[in-house]
Amino acid sequence: MKLNLIYFSPTGGTKKVLDIISEEWNCDKREIDLSLAENDFSKYSFKRDDICIVGVPSFGGRAPQVALSRIKKMSGGSVNTIMVAVYGNRAYEDTLLELEDILEQCNFHCIAAIAANAEHSIMHEFGKGRPDIEDEKDLKGFVKKIKAVLNENCEEKVVQVPGNNPYKEFKVVPFIPIVSNECNKCGLCIKKCPTNAICKDNPLFLDESKCISCMRCISICPKNARMLDKEKLYLLIQKLETVSYTHLRAHETDSYLV
């Protein structure tokens, strides 16, 4: 048996959650990073006796389209699959349902789902330090339940997750990173951008039509040369603080089984 970790994690939060979950399996593991734009995702196929853990962040209550487009190229092979939606302490809305729909289309057999908190990729004070010790305890406890399900015959069952179809309209204010004079044009952001939005010849230029505000370039810049407009960021924080965001634990880990 092989455990496949399939994730889209521009700033590392989703990857942290999957790492915690995967610790409970003692078997061969393979990582598939959906943020690698140059990867040929059509080469990935899975065996029935493998396990897949597929994790994505919630962007405005939806699954990132770039991640879904890359999953669509894979062949699931009826592999038992655990879905994970990671969100920044507000809500994940239709993320799990949208992810499940795509996975089932690609012949992944979804038997469990988890919605977990992580530090917000833009406003770091929301969900700061998460997943924390309590989150880790919750996640590992749910893995024990998943293992029990895997020991049963769940071939004809599909996990039911919350969400609406049609999915909610994707409405978010785009946050386009700006570049300071500290940029030394090392090219790391060009290499790591999930959508190839940064000009290959000059990282000072960015195609705003391709940018998905994932914050990868900001999180990896060794010179801290990429950033957001502070005034716009402050206004967004003020707005979100009025619509149920909190500096405290807003939700426990949500989990679903067949």
Model pLDDT for residues 123-175, shown as the tens digit of each residue: 887 788 999 999 999 999 999 999 998 888 777 778 999 999 999 998 877 88
Instruction: Say if residues 2 and 53 touch (Cβ distance below 8 Å).
Output: no
% of the chain surpassing 70 pLDDT: 93
Instruction: Say if residues 258 and 111 touch (Cβ distance below 8 Å).
Output: yes
> Can you tell me the distance from the alpha carbon of 146 to that of 74, in angstroms, rounded to the nearest whole number?
23
CA angle at 256 for the pair 255 and 258, rounded to the nearest 5°: 155
One-letter amino acid at 51 equals I
**What is the distance between the terminal CA atoms of the chain, rounded to a whole angstrom?**
21
Q: If pLDDT is split at 50, 70 and 90, which confidence band does 113 have?
A: very high
Structure tokens at 233: 């960021």
> Alpha helices of 23-132 — where are they, by DSSP H?
65-71, 95-105
> Can you tell me the distance from the alpha carbon of 14 to that of 160, in angstroms, rounded to the nearest whole number?
21
Give the bridge partners for 78, in sequence order. none
Instruction: Say if residues 118 and 249 touch (Cβ distance below 8 Å).
Output: no
Which residue carries 């789902």 as its tokens?
113
- Hey, what's the torsion of the CAs at 93, 98, 101, 106, to 10 degrees? -140
pTM listed for this prediction: 0.93
> Which pLDDT score, from 0 to 100, does residue 243 have?
54
Task: Identify the helix (H) or strand (E) that includes residue 57.
Answer: strand 51-57
Instruction: Say if residues 243 and 129 touch (Cβ distance below 8 Å).
Output: no
The residue that leads in pLDDT, 85 or 249, is 85
Structure tokens at 166: 């049609």
> Which pLDDT score, from 0 to 100, does residue 252 have?
66
